[in-house]
């Protein structure tokens, strides 16, 4: 091997260490870049030249080459922020973004996202963040309880697409069901159920008169009342009040049982049914609760609805038989908007007991139900599923990457789920600049899923992942790289001195 070859061996060392210094410099330059993943350069010997030696053939190295530049995908530390759309991944995975109008997907660990003027969630380049739409959960008619399949956490639909908030308003929803769970004092005052011959039997619903009285029922004509707010299709709110009064048992009824009459009412001015007499305006439903001696709810009886669209419309003042929902609860009909009777929306009435046969028989108490114990009457729980229109107030993102909108009407709606992707070979990803990666044949296709599923990490909202570059480590590498560069330069200068000696031999 000639002296010139030795000089080129030193040159390969200079070139390699210069490139490594460039890698170190890039790491240091991005020490404050959000979501940046550093790189490490690995050297390998370039090649070896065979030379003759006393015992055969030997090899002499001809320098160094860059063997690999591998990304460091270790977790970076998190920085808290004041923006809910700043998100970080703790664990494996990448956010997915796509340029507008292009069928191209990039991957990033930088979660500094914002909504643009068109409602798209975008990164700093304007690339749109990808996610799944979330289907609205099926709401059971029993006071708004949500049914979810066993083990199902996020009800995603379709394929990942641009995350966009097209409507910053939550439309109103009419009340479809309401429930009241109460305790009615068994020792409260009762009404006489055995009046003098010829006198009308006193009852709670006979006390209601929207023409003669204001309010339609007096304070001395009932024992207890409970009110909650219900909503029509236009989002208008109306007070729905249920009045209760205990009565004495009549002949043929078990004397140990407790009997409570009730009426379901709204303000007369809110009642636009139009086919009931004026004195009955606002009186929607009436019935009786029956409790055993221990105060447990056992059945309902004598129920009447003053309007019942599923059957032939009754004449003025007529009372139709109660109609039960598919869950076995009686239905109350109200008309707040003056629509045709057949278009009225029934409201499910739930006191914690249902008809097992859906026809008013075989009553089955729920786990949470109304009681009649010897303690003051009180409302233990009440709920309804309607609400007025509302405007989006803020967005939050859960550990599973679910974007949830909170509206001024109190509604909390799951909108989208961020799409995360992982790769079998993350070191095969290609860096595209701008904190973006692109898949290659070496990386394999992205394996998408919900945060927290499989090997994917979870999402931290109001946080950003910082660069994983460690300055102390980079400075140590810088020193060793500088010394390596300096040593290789000495190889060249020493070889130069040797060549000078060869040239001086001719003198």
Query: All domains of the chain, ordered by start, with CATH?
Result: 3-74+468-504 (no CATH), 78-139+390-465 (no CATH), 177-384 (2.60.98.20)
For residue 224, the model assigns a pLDDT of 96
Our measurement of the distance from residue 482's CA atom to the centroid of its chain's CA atoms, rounded to an integer in Å, reads 52
Predicted TM-score (pTM) of the model is: 0.72
Q: Which two tokens stand for residue 263?
A: 């009426």
Give the span between the Cα atoms of 106 and 94, in whole angstroms.
9
- Residue 317: is its pLDDT beyond 50? no
For residue 275, the model assigns a pLDDT of 66
More confident residue, 148 or 233: 233
For residue 12, the model assigns a pLDDT of 86
For residue 138, the model assigns a pLDDT of 42
Q: How far is CA 26 from CA 97, 323, 387, 450, 469, in A?
A: 24, 74, 55, 32, 10
pLDDT tens digit string along 165-196?
887 888 899 999 999 999 999 999 887 665 54
Burial 455-492 (b: 16+ CB within 10 A, else e): ebbbbbbbbbbbbbbeeeebeebbeebeebbeebeebb
- Residue 55: is its pLDDT beyond 50? yes
- Residue 146: is its pLDDT beyond 60? no
For residue 503, the model assigns a pLDDT of 83
Banded pLDDT at 226 (limits 50, 70, 90): very high
Banded pLDDT at 443 (limits 50, 70, 90): very high
- Residue 400: is its pLDDT beyond 80? yes
For residue 136, the model assigns a pLDDT of 66
For residue 156, the model assigns a pLDDT of 85
For residue 343, the model assigns a pLDDT of 81
For residue 309, the model assigns a pLDDT of 42
Give the span between the Cα atoms of 394 and 412, in whole angstroms.
10
């Amino acid at each position: 091997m000639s002296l010139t070859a030795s000089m080129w061996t030193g040159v390969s060392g200079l070139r390699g260490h210069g490139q490594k210094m460039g890698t170190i410099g890039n790491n240091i330059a991005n020490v404050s870049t959000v979501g940046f993943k550093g790189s490490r350069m690995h050297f390998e010997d370039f090649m070896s030249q065979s030379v003759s030696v006393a015992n055969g053939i030997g090899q002499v190295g001809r320098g160094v080459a860059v063997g690999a530049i591998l990304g460091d995908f270790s977790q970076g530390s998190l920085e808290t922020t004041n923006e809910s759309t700043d998100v970080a991944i703790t664990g494996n995975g990448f956010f997915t973004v796509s340029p507008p109008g292009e069928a191209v997907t990039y991957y990033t660990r930088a979660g500094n996202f914002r909504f643009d003027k068109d409602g798209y969630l975008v990164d700093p380049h304007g690339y749109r963040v990808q996610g799944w739409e979330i289907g609205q959960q099926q709401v059971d008619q029993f006071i708004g309880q949500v049914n979810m399949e066993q083990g199902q956490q996020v009800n995603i639909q379709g394929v990942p697409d641009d995350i966009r908030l097209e409507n910053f308003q939550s439309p109103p929803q009419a009340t479809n069901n309401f429930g009241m769970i109460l305790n009615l004092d068994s020792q409260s005052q009762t009404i006489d159920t055995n009046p003098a011959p010829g006198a009308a039997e006193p009852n709670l619903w006979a006390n209601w008169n929207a023409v003669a009285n204001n309010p339609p029922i007096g304070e001395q004509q009932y024992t207890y009342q409970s009110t909650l707010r219900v909503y029509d299709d236009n989002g208008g709110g109306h007070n729905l009040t249920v009045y209760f009064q205990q009565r004495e048992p009549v002949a043929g009824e078990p004397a140990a049982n407790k009997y409570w009459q009730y009426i379901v009412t709204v303000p007369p001015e809110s009642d636009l049914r139009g086919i009931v007499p004026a004195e009955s305006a606002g009186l929607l439903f009436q019935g009786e609760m029956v409790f055993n001696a221990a105060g447990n709810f056992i059945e309902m009886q004598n129920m009447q609805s003053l309007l019942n669209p599923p059957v032939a419309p009754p004449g003025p003042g007529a009372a139709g038989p109660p109609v039960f929902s598919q869950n076995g609860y009686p239905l109350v009909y109200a008309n707040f908007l003056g629509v045709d009777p057949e278009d009225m929306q029934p409201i499910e009435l739930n006191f914690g007991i249902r008809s097992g046969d859906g026809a008013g028989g075989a009553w089955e108490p729920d786990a949470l139900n109304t009681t009649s114990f010897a303690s003051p009457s009180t409302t233990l729980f009440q709920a309804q599923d309607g609400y007025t229109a509302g405007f989006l107030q803020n967005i939050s993102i859960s550990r599973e990457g679910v974007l949830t909108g909170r509206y001024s009407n109190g509604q909390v709606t799951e909108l989208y789920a961020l799409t995360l992707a992982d790769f079998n070979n993350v070191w095969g990803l290609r860096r595209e600049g701008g904190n973006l990666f692109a898949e290659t044949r070496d990386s394999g296709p992205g394996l998408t899923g919900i945060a927290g599923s499989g090997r994917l990490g979870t999402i931290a909202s109001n946080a950003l992942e910082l660069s994983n570059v460690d300055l102390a480590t980079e400075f140590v590498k810088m020193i060793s790289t500088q010394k390596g560069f300096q040593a290789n330069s000495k190889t060249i200068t020493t070889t130069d001195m040797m060549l000078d000696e060869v040239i001086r031999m001719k003198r």
